Amino acid sequence: MTLRIILISIILLSFQIQTQANDPLLEQLLEAADQRNVNSPTFSRVLAGNNKQYQKQALLALGRIGGHPATIKISPFLYSKDEDLRSMAAFSLGISTDIGAHKLLKMRLNTETSPGVISRLLIAIGNVGEPKDAIASILPFLNNPQDKVVAAACDALTLAWTFNRDRVSVPNSSQVYRLLALSKTNQIIAEHCLFTLSRLSREPALFDLKLLATLAETVTEVEAKLLLIRIMGAMNNMQFLNDFTKTLKSSPSSRLKAEAASAIAALFSDEKNTQHLEAIKLASLDPSSHVKVNLINSLKLKKEFTQLTEVVIELSKDKSAWVRHQAMTALFAIQAEKMHKQFLSLVGAKSFESQQAALNILRLYKLEDHNKHLQLLAKSRHKGIKSIASRLLNNEDADAEEEVPASKTIKGKVAYALAAKRMNIKTSRGNIIIQLSTSAAFTSANFYQLAKAGFYDGLIFHRVVPNFVVQGGDPESTGQGGPGFSIREELSLQNHSRGSLGIATSGKDTGGSQFFFNNSNNIHLNNNYTVFAHILEGIEIIDRFEVGDKIISITEL
């Protein structure tokens, strides 16, 4: 039965792709969005018609273009008789970046009865983040009888507190208690509630620690457990140490152990606590580099912590270059003179990863002969190292990104055809097979064309954040490089679930070649970063990636 369903799904997908690739009107809508042409006559013609498929695509295209002129065209569809059109109108207003859309969304929320549309309205309100009453509009829906609506209310709060935190209000302790209680009693929405609470972990006074502790026994799903450990760790309370240590000792999941290691390290403050020190040592001996890196990055080293320092010194000898470099960087905070010889070995090394570690140390600490070291790195054979070292020598912003022209627009028909491809990403850790997505056709086509040209061959994964993302595709390996042009955002209903691929950006329409694997359900990225593919095979590999691992090739299947 399962095989039959899979085969039917493939047939339906193939039919859908063929239809899209041979539909001039859909192609025109796709091209209008890519050209950011809100005044395209195609919009008026489609929106005035009665073809639901075209109207949904037109609304999505207008949302991607954004701004007040797009809001004017989208907003009448909030009152369409068709639920799908109302839902798409809500989504499109939510991604439009027009803060004026909040009033329209709120008005519709007051009268909408469909749980599906209510859910889309809530998430849109959270994403727009109007400063005065966005949170007040969302909070009542935590009491809705529909799980779908409650989950959407949580996601809406997540978006508001992630991207608009400086503009919207923070809830009180009773509202936080409500989210904790929902996490305990309803496993279906627990992950959504806990993700929201993870956005508030900087306000530990809002949390009921007793209720938080009981969740450790009731939450069962891995994604929810990750979030719970993260929240408990942020409470900075020793009562949770046993929970973290238990996870580290008995969990079969390296992902959970990595989160526990981070929490254990962040709590450390007293070497006399032998139980705590033993937990630190246990994490340092774990075979997973993700566990060790999380441990190192969360430790607060002090000169008087001699035993803790010995643990990190041992990690600076680890077989993993990533772990070694992180440990060496941490040790510089307390014993820069003793680390001088190791630092010089990094500067003089030929590998990009070693020189990058040296550059990171120079950016964090002011060393003797500081500029001399930068001058040596400015002569590096690695473009990214050379570029950043030169900027630092000239007192320029090392993180500034150069403006690049937009890519040349290809035909919508070509984009749809290329977006139907499956690709094999061959890496130094193994093969990952992905399915590109027609929901982000131009983005998928751009990825396909760069891959076919060999652009990605030999590039490294320059950013690895355990339980968040693995990022690569930068020819400079610094997070600032690209193909020499930018591509437009293609936000869609696709979520940043574990195993999906997104495009890294530094603002609207600033993507290029850099992409990332989501190795958790990153709810806070939904509606804000383009999803262009999903992993079909090899998802376990993304949990083993380290900084410096290579993309050997990306080929079409």
DSSP structural state of residue 394:
T
Assign 4 a pLDDT band (cuts: 50, 70, 90): low
Every domain range in the chain assigned CATH 1.25.10.10:
1-168
Average pLDDT over residues 11-40: 77
Which residue matches tokens 């040592």? Answer: 281
Q: What is the pLDDT of residue 7?
A: 44
517 SS3 class: strand
Q: What is the pLDDT of residue 16?
A: 52
Which residue matches tokens 């530094």? Answer: 506
What strand order describes the sheet that includes 531-537? 461-465, 469-472, 515-518, 500-503, 531-537, 430-436, 422-427, 551-556
Q: What is the pLDDT of residue 203?
A: 84
Q: Is the pLDDT assigned to residue 476 strictly greater than 50?
A: yes
Q: Is the pLDDT assigned to residue 285 strictly greater than 90?
A: yes
Assign 307 a pLDDT band (cuts: 50, 70, 90): very high
Q: Is the pLDDT assigned to residue 2 strictly greater than 70?
A: no
* Assessment of whether the complete model's pTM goes beyond 0.85: yes
Assigned CATH topology for domain 1-168: Leucine-rich Repeat Variant (1.25.10)
Average pLDDT over residues 269-291: 95
Alpha helices, DSSP H, located in 395-435: 412-418
Every domain range in the chain assigned CATH 2.40.100.10:
412-556
Distance CA 542, CA 526 (A): 20
Question: Exposed, middle or buried by CB within 10 Å (0-12, 13-18, 19+), for 221?
Answer: middle
Q: What is the pLDDT of residue 223?
A: 95
Q: What is the pLDDT of residue 408?
A: 72
Q: Is the pLDDT assigned to residue 273 strictly greater than 60?
A: yes
Question: Exposed, middle or buried by CB within 10 Å (0-12, 13-18, 19+), for 66?
Answer: buried
Average pLDDT over residues 452-456: 97
Q: Is the pLDDT assigned to residue 15 strictly greater than 60?
A: no
Q: Is the pLDDT assigned to residue 14 strictly greater than 80?
A: no
Assign 78 a pLDDT band (cuts: 50, 70, 90): very high
> 555: which strand partners?
424
Q: Where are the beta strands (DSSP E) in 488-530?
A: 500-503, 515-518
Structure confidence by residue, pLDDT tens digits, 499-516: 999 999 998 999 999 999
Would you give the distance in Å from CA 545 to the centre of its chain? 16
Structure confidence by residue, pLDDT tens digits, 109-167: 999 999 999 999 999 999 997 767 888 899 999 999 999 999 999 999 999 988 877 77
Structure confidence by residue, pLDDT tens digits, 407-419: 777 899 999 999 9
Assign 21 a pLDDT band (cuts: 50, 70, 90): low
Class in CATH terms, 412-556: mainly beta
Assign 366 a pLDDT band (cuts: 50, 70, 90): confident
Average pLDDT over residues 479-507: 95
Largest Cα–Cα distance in the chain? Answer: 74
Average pLDDT over residues 191-219: 91
Assign 179 a pLDDT band (cuts: 50, 70, 90): very high
Instruction: Select the more confidently predicted residue: 506 or 8.
Output: 506
Nearest to 123 by CA among 535, 491, 504: 491
Q: Is the pLDDT assigned to residue 5 strictly greater than 60?
A: no
Distance CA 14, CA 20 (A): 10
Q: Which are the contacts of 136, defined by CB distance < 8 A and separation ≥ 6?
A: 169
The pLDDT mean for the chain works out to 92
